[in-house]
Amino acid sequence: MTHPPLRSFGRIKSRPIKPRQAALFDTLMPAVRLPVPAEGRIDVGALMPGAAEVWLEIGFGGGEHLAAQAARHPDALMIGCEPFINGVASALRHIDEQGLKNVRLHDDDARAVVAALPDASLDRVMILFPDPWHKARHNKRRLIQPEFAVELARVLKPGGRLRFVTDWKDYAGWALERLIATPGFVWLADEKADWTVAPADHVVTRYEEKRLGDTDPIFLEFERRLF
């Protein structure tokens, strides 16, 4: 019997959803929900024919970063995954207010999406401030595990980029160790500023401004390469 992977995220809902956002689940969500087949692969090309690139953001929080990148890159398909219902509601509001046509959402575990994506189908993967599970006994619930890192390498195109950002020192070290050990990933860092200074296209969100971790944000950027 195959058991589902341990949850890599915490709560899926907090405060009541505002009426306007709740209404968007009925009116907008059906149009932007990512179809994830029970078997087989996602037909990425059918989601946005002619898309110049395909990006995936895992754990988009309130959707601020996802919406900002979608607005900056209207010719790119932006896939966002987030199990936290309040975050999905917020993302729907951003999509509606900005009239974004290039976003697709998955309101559940991102690992199901990655498993269903074809090989070499993504140009970028963004993982920003995932749940740190900072207690040692909970580390096994962290999103970045060796098996998932291999899957991320599989779905990225050669030359594609993976960005991992955290404000927990231990998780940064954990992720770095496992991603460096993943065949096909090369860490793009030569000096300290490469992981301590935000990339030029980074979007600061309200979550980041809260400074809930034990360090300033650490930015780990990797490139998918064939050897």
Parallel, antiparallel or unpaired: strands 76-81 and 53-58: parallel
Cβ atoms of 91 and 118 closer than 8 Å: no
In terms of DSSP H, where are the helices of the chain?
19-27, 29-32, 44-47, 64-72, 85-98, 110-116, 146-155, 169-180, 193-196, 206-210
- Rounded distance, CA 54 to CA 142, Å? 25
Q: With the C-alpha atoms ordered 140, 146, 149, 154, is the resulting torsion angle positive or negative?
A: negative
Query: Does 131 participate in catalysis according to the annotation?
Result: yes
Q: Is 100 helix (H, G, I), strand (E, B) or coil?
A: coil
Among 211, 146, 201, CA closest to 179: 146
Among 119, 131, 194, 214, which one carries the catalytic annotation? 131
Catalytic residues, which ones?
131
